[in-house]
Each structure stands twice: as structure tokens, then as C-alpha cells.
Structure 1
């Protein structure tokens, strides 16, 4: 439950300064819990998304991908249970008129206890909270808040209302004339677009169980408390896969995907000791098993991905509410049935924050004067994820060096993202590339004109090698595979 606010604030500042993440509508003082991705952030996000998509579809022979609409028939959310069950316990402060999620208040109190060296008290508090949440004991949650002396951050008072459940879905109107419009919802998850297309995909793809359907896309939740940077946002992106299996085999597949997904996170360069499983204390209404993969963010261990055994709840409910038969004929056992489902659901924005948190580093570097200290800030991103793979840097803006650099740039940009820079000293240009996570920098100097060799600099080690210019493109391609 360690909390490193200094590192979190450094990452937030770095993200803005170097074009990764900006507060949305910042010229109008922003919008709570909404962020824009800048030029490097958008590319890093795309690279993570593409890596997930490849691992789920291209490398899996029995998983296909779709792209379902954000708007769905409103009965979808009645069938899924979101209209009746998609809510969180909230509490209002009567003096500030602000509303808070109960678990956020209690988690913040536990973090404070942890900072004070009271780790046992923090764990006890979280245990009590999870028990009360599991039992839907709303009065007990309020009592716990009062016992812990938790006050509103704005008013400083403990003048709380009773705890109540609030639905987290955004609603809007469909139709151009208000009187004729019908209320619909912005989807709070991408999974239902997969479930309502189960038969379409199964029949057109001639899919045989077990098989999966993957999707990435935006989802929307009316989060009350805006905090912790992009960890919890009102508009966010999910990467989900629903794996359809024969009833009775779901827990075996659940165990399979639990380990498979953990390995995927490790493949992003995340150390094993920074990841952990956390079994759900309270199962969702659709699940018979559920676990989170958590990463040790600067704000402590928090969920990045959920793996859930959803039984046949979703398909069965959509069959009931639509009146359409949603079943699969299994030729191996000569039987019709509603498939069971194992879900893997990972937050793209949270994965982005995880990758950024792991990559951010401040390092002392040697200088010509041993008495002087110098520090560089860098992002040690895996090369395959880095927004820019190669920086092409002519040493000076004359003597034909820019022309050689442009020729290399034109060759390489067909294969991967690269950047050309000729402004400032070579040292300053190196530091800028370190800060955005570029793994390779190539310098074209006067020797290049003589023997067609260049200096390649490696971001993490600071090592520099002299190589033929003809080798550069392949070297980078090999590193980003």
C-alpha cells in the first residue's frame, strides 16, 4: 500500500511537459477526471493497444476481433443488470455539498495510516471495508467512516449523510427532437457489444467452441471523485476479450487466462514483484470466480486487469430480454447449450499509466568534471512500445550532413516511427529523446561522409557504437519485434 506522491507528481508533470497527457480543455481550467493524450501519449497508447490486439487475435487461432458501437439499445443495459446493479456506495458531506465514493474515502484513510507507519491498522481497515461492501452493509460503512474520524477534504467536517447507492451510467437522448427522443446510455463497458453479437460472429466466422471475441473501445462511467491522474477517469478505454466455453469447463479456462494474462503484463517489462493477484472479496452478480491483476503504482497496488468467470449470465439474460434464441450446437456432444464465458478486461489507460510509472527514471550521469553532478530524466520504455523508435541527428546543419540524415530518415520512416532533429547541441537533443523514451539515437557527423558509418547511442546504457549506416534500419526493426 506504499504511496509515493513525489513520483506520481513527477510523472504527471513529465507527461504534460513532453506531450504525453494534458488536462482536457485546459484553457478553460480543465474538466475533472477527463484527460487528452498528446502526440507522444497517443502513439504510446496505440502501441500498447496494438500489442494487446496482436496477442489476442493474430497470435490466437480461435479469437477474433470486432468493433461494436458505443450506443446500444437501452434494453441491453436492463438485461445486463447495469440499470439495477451498476452502482457504488456514495456519501455526501452536508457542508461542502460534495459527494464521495465510500471506498475512496476509506482507502485514502488506509494510505494515511500506512504513511504513519501503522501498516497493521491500514490492513485491518481495508479488511473491515471489504467485509461491509460484501454484505452491502451501508449503515456499517457510515459507522466505519465516523469511527475513523474521516472528514470532507473541502469542509473539514464529518457532517455526513447516510450512505446510498448511485448508478454510474451516463444517460443521453437519442433523436433530434426532444419530445421524440428516447433515453439511452453511454456504454459503461465494452463487453455487452460482444455478447449481443455472439451469434453474428459465431455463424459468419464458423467459430467452434472454445473461441473468443475481442474488442477495444471507449467506455464511460460517472465517477464522482476525480483523482490519481488517469487511473480513474470518466471517459476511458478498455481492451476486453470474452472467451466462450462449454459449461463445466469454465474454471479450467479461468485458470488458463489468469496465468496467460499475467504473463502478458510481464512481457511489457513489468517485474514480477510489481504485480500480484487479488481475489475478489465480493463477486459480481454475474460471476462464479473473479480475480484482479494489480500493479504497484506510485499510489500503491491497484487493479489493472480483471479476469472473471461470468457463467452464462449475459447470454442467458439477452436471450430472455430479446426473445431470440442465443445458443450453440456442440457437435462433439450433440447438444445445444448457452455457452459459459471467461472474461479478460484490461484498462488501456491504466496499462498506459503502469508502463509510464515503470519506465520513469531520474539518473545521475557522469560529467567531464568529476566534482559536478548531472541528472537526466528518461523513460525506459520497451522499444516495441516507445512512441519514437529512432532519432536521426545531424551533428551540424551544414556540410551535407542534413542531406545524409534525411536520406536515412526517409528509409527508416517507412518501417517505424522516427524523428529528425537538428536544433541545439547534440547533448541537449539526446536528453530530449531520453525524456520521451526514444531507445536509439543516430548521429551523422563528418566521418559519415568519408566511410558511411554513424554513431548509434543506446538510451538505457548510454553506450555508443560506430556502425555502417546501412545497418541502422534492421538493427531497430530487430529490437522492436
Structure 2
């Protein structure tokens, strides 16, 4: 059966994975709080990413598929950066969406998320148009509206389907369709900068304006030279960072998928220009494999290369790793991670000034006086190769993942409803989260079968040993053991350990597997090693 996003979000709140921000005050759109289990789950996702980025290789041996060995170091940079950073990077001028408001109901729409069907006559004029919001079930017009548009085309005309942003570009003189919510008049589409503005200092004047970072990448680019000089790294090498970013999204939606505050896990990988295409292929494949290695079925993922008309002006190539989220229509995928070949755009722009694409070549944007319109730092960010005596600007490959989106994808992938026997052996419906043991928020649960005969004391001893081993463990002695199993299944705990009457006789305990439901007995002294082996 298809998974229900409503069921998943209900479980997320009920079990303490994710809460609406400021919930007791009615919530705040686009912001989310992680509860006790969500905090553990997201931390495990970050740790697994960091382990792969920094800890899973060494600089002496090339990983499988890599052109050569490389180094990777981490940084943690400030959320508020110098305003000129955003001028040089292009965010100040280019980081925007188009939006339109309804004059009647005051609803606000991103224009690329409003669908438009327009009746275009044989002469190329728009005779009529209808706006609508695509839904998961049927992103199409009603039969009545479809017939009405068909009549307007005349002989030789057609009904086209596009989005509001493309419609206004293609037919700038055509009347706008009405609001898809209430039928009221829409405003003309206008630019909306996505950066959150703030002020520094006590006076808060315009000269004190600053911005919350919309991405973590620029903090790594402006520290490229510092890392190069202080860490004795040499090409190829990567800088990675996990941190918060902020985007003033017009229409945040789909649970934690599109939020105004979110966490990124990014790598900026610096390499020689003549090897950059090979590294681009390597990081595309490696990052796709990371998701499958941690429990996401390959059948629910795609690696989609961007078409030429989708690429940013600086991009040599970009591929998105996309996941089949339950809130999307059949056959649709949502972006989990982007892997971009950024060429030398970023280092050049922070050195020379804002770059623009002229006839396929990136050049510094000049003002009327012939000087850089938005000058960079003026500091050289060249790399000097001591062996070849060459000086050049490195190319950059950027794998950029969202910690929140990855956490959501793992939660959606893990969610299942099946059947399992209750404490009386009767088959009952069971909700289970089949997390990969590496990212499961709780690794094991320990139960005394009953609250007497020394069982709680022995269970507490095993629980303490697991905690001292650095494992996240639950202890539960309330209710029938079958119900306790169900509670742990619902939060994704891979292993349950039960202390019973035989434990006090032969020193063994029952271990029960979440996925297979198989139960076996092992010595109590081996429980920690058993759980560690299960996690891998």
C-alpha cells in the first residue's frame, strides 16, 4: 500500500520525532523543532555523513573509484558573514524567487508553483487562461474548465500547460489568470529575495545591514586560503561543514521538506581543472551510494543530471539525488542532495568580484566606469603547485545535502505497517520503523519480564553496561512484554533484550530482532558486543 504522509507526520509528533515550532502558540510556518527521538535520529544522520566525509578514507590510499587519494578537513563558520560576501557570490542580486499575491484572499504564491492552462489561438494570442494548484492526485483542470478553454482556441489553436512564471515570460501582454484559491485578481509577479535581513550594532541603520546565510558553502570558500595555509593540505582536498542556513521561503510546505530554517551538510572539494570531470563523476556515485548504504532502497532513488537550460550560470554540470517522498504524485521525486561542478566560479568571484556569463565565458561584471561593479576581496586565491611550479585557480565539486531532508527521507523509507503476533500469539497490525541500525535513534531496549525475582536488577545491570559503551538504550518495565515490543518497533529500535526467569539460572537473555521477529538466547555478558555487531 502507498505510504500516507499524514500517518508519518502523526507518528512523528506522537513519538517525539518532530514538533511544530512554538506549537502552544499556534505554530510558525516553515520552522520545526526536533523532539527527543528526532534529535537522536538527526544526530545519527549527521554523524554518518561526517564519518563518510572525513573518517572513511585516508590521504595515502585512494578510495574505490577515486582518481587519487585525497584529504578532507572540517570547519565551522559564522552564520552572519560580511555583506560583501553575498555581493561577490551573486546572492544579493540573484538569490530570489518570483511571487504573486491574490488581491482578494491575500494568499501568496510562488509563481513556479502555480499551474496555468491557457487557450492560445492560431494567431498566437491568449484567448483565456485558468490557474490551478497541482495536487498529488490530479494535477489537471476540471472537465468543465477544460471544455471552456478548448472552445476559446478556435481552429488551429491549442491549450498549453505551463506555470505562471513561464506564462508571464512567454505572453507578457496576456491578462493574468485569476487566483487558484478564490478566483480573485493576482498581482504581477515580482522578485522576492530569499535572504533573511538583520542588523548589526545598536543603531541598526541601513549601513549596519547584514544577512543570515542562505547556505554554508560561502563560509568554506572565503576560508579556502586559511585552510590551505594552516592545515598543509594539498590538492586534491575537501573542506566540509554541517550547519544551519536560512531562506525566507515564500511557501514553505511538505512537513520539514521545505523550511525557512534548515541544516546543511556540504563538501567543497578542490581539485585541478583537468581532473574536475573525473571528480564530479566520483562524487555523484559516492553520494548516491551513501543513501543506499544506510537503508534507502535504490528503487526509491534517482540520480538526475540537470538539462542544459536548468544549470546555474556558473555550473559546468549538476546532478540531483532525488527521493520518492510520499507527499509527491506517482512517478515524482524530490531533491535530497545536489552534486554540482562549480568550476572556478566561487574562488574567482571572491577574489576578483561578481562574475557574469558572457557567451559561455565567466567574466567580472563591470560598471559604467569600467571597474568591477561588485569587487571581490582583491586577495589572490590561486593555488601554487610546488611540484609542477604551476599557479592556477582550482575547480570545485560541491556535494550539498540537507540534514533535515535526509532525516525525513530515512523516516519515510523506514515507515511500514505489517502484521505481527501479540503476546497471545494473535496476529495484529503493527507500525514499525525499519531504520538502518546505524541511524536508528535507540539501538536497543532492555526489559525485565516481570518486576520481581531479581529481574529488574539484572536488566538494570545490562542497561548500564550498554550505556557505558556509548550506546543509546531504552529501559522499559511497564505493561505486557508484547506491548513493550510494539512500542520499540514504532520508534525503530533494532534489538530488544528481555531478562526472564532463565537468566538468573543460566545467565542468558532473549534477544529479539525488530525486522525478522526472530528470538534467540545469548549470554548476558555478550549483549553489548551483540548490539555493536548489529549496528556494524
TM-score, with length taken from structure 2: 0.82
Deviation, structure 1 residue 142: 8.3
Q: Distance in 2 between matches of 1:448 and 1:352?
A: 38
1:113 aligned residue: 138
1:318 maps to 2:343: no
Q: C-alpha distance in 2, partners of 1:378/1:143?
A: 55
Partner of 1:351: 406
How far did 1:248 drift? 2.9
Aligned equivalent of 2:304: 278
Q: Out of 378, 384, 387, which is 2:438 matched to?
A: 384
Output the CA distance in 2 between the equivalents of 1:271 and 1:299.
17
- Structure 2 equivalent of residue 140 of structure 1: 170
Deviation at 1:208, TM superposition (A): 1.0
| 1: CA distance, partners of 2:259 / 2:297 | 26
SS in 1 for 2:29: coil
Instruction: Provide closer, same or farther for how the CA distance between residues 373 and 58 of structure 1 changes in structure 2, counting only shifts above 3 A.
Output: closer
Distance 1:441 1:126 in 2: 57
1:288 paired residue among 316, 322, 327: 316
Q: How many correspondences in the alignment?
A: 464
Structure-2 separation of matches of 1:368 and 1:318 = 65
Are the aligned partners of 2:450 and 2:456 in contact in 1 as well (CA < 8 Å)?
yes
Gap regions ≥5 residues in structure 1: none
Q: Is 2:106 the partner of 1:97?
A: yes
Q: Would you say 1:227 and 2:224 are equivalent positions?
A: no
* d(CA) in 2 for partners of 1:179, 1:73: 16
The correspondence of residues 434-453 of structure 1 with structure 2, limited to 5 A, is 434-453=489-508
Equivalent residue, structure 1, for 2:221: 195
Cα distance in 2 for residues equivalent to 1:117 and 1:452: 69
Q: Determine the C-alpha separation between the residues in 2 that align with 1:363 and 1:126.
A: 44
Instruction: Mark the structure with the bigger radius of gyration.
Output: 2
1:280 Cα deviation from its structure 2 partner: 2.5
TM-aligned CA deviation for residue 246 of structure 1:
1.1
Q: Secondary structure of the residue that 1:297 maps to in structure 2?
A: coil
Q: CA deviation at 1:369?
A: 7.7
The alpha-carbon deviation at position 364 of structure 1 amounts to 1.8
Residues 142-181 of structure 1: CA distance to partner in whole angstroms, max 9, x if unpaired? 89996xx77433xx21521222221100010111333597
Structure 2 Cα separation of the partners of residues 244 and 39 of structure 1: 37
| 1:333 maps to 2:365 | no
Following TM superposition, by how much is the alpha carbon of 1:139 offset from its aligned partner in structure 2, in angstroms? 3.1
> What is the CA-CA distance between 1:104 and the residue it aligns to?
2.5
SS in 1 for 2:315: coil
For the residue of structure 1 that corresponds to 2:295, the secondary structure is coil
Query: SS of the residue aligned with 1:294?
Result: strand
Q: Which deviates more, 383-392 or 275-284?
A: 275-284
Aligned residue for 1:35? 32
Aligned-partner Cα distance in 2 for 1:49–1:225: 27
Counterpart of 1:192 in 2: which secondary structure? helix
The answer to whether the 8 A contact 2:337-2:399 is kept is: yes
Instruction: Supply the distance in 2 between the matched residues of 1:316 and 1:480 (Cα, whole angstroms).
Output: 44
**Could you say if the C-alpha distance between residues 358 and 144 of structure 1 is closer, same or farther in structure 2, counting changes exceeding 3 Å?**
farther
Quote how far apart the aligned CAs of 1:278 are.
2.1
Q: Give the superposition deviation at 1:230.
A: 0.3
* Counterparts of 1:266 and 1:145, CA distance in 2: 48
CA separation in 1, counterparts of 2:527 and 2:285? Answer: 37
1:77 has 2:86 as partner: yes
Moved more, 91-100 or 253-262: 91-100
CA pair 39-110 structure 1, distance change in 2 beyond 3 A: closer
Match of 1:472 in 2: 527
Check 1:464–1:178 CA distance in 2 against 1; reply closer, same or farther (3 A cut): same
When you count helix as a share of all residues, which structure comes out higher? 1
Indicate yes or no: 2:320 matched with 1:266: no
Cα–Cα, structure 1 residues 315 and 140, in superposed 2: closer, same or farther, change >3 Å?
same
Q: CA deviation at 1:284?
A: 1.3
- Deviation of 1:350 after TM superposition, in Å, equals 0.5
Q: d(CA) in 2 for partners of 1:392 and 1:102?
A: 53
Q: Give every structure 1 segment of 4 or more consecutive aligned residues whose post-TM-superposition deviation is greater than 4 Å.
A: 114-118, 125-129, 141-146, 367-370
RMSD between aligned alpha carbons? 2.7
Distance 2:133 2:231 in 1: 48
The verdict on how the C-alpha distance between 1:207 and 1:171 changes in structure 2, with shifts beyond 3 A counting, is same
Q: Is contact 1:364–1:374 with CA below 8 Å preserved after alignment? A: yes
The 5 A counterparts of 1:248-263 are 248-263=274-289
Distance 1:33 1:144 in 2: 34
More off after superposition, 330-339 vs 167-176:
330-339
- Displacement of 1:426 in angstroms is 1.0
SS at match of 1:322: coil
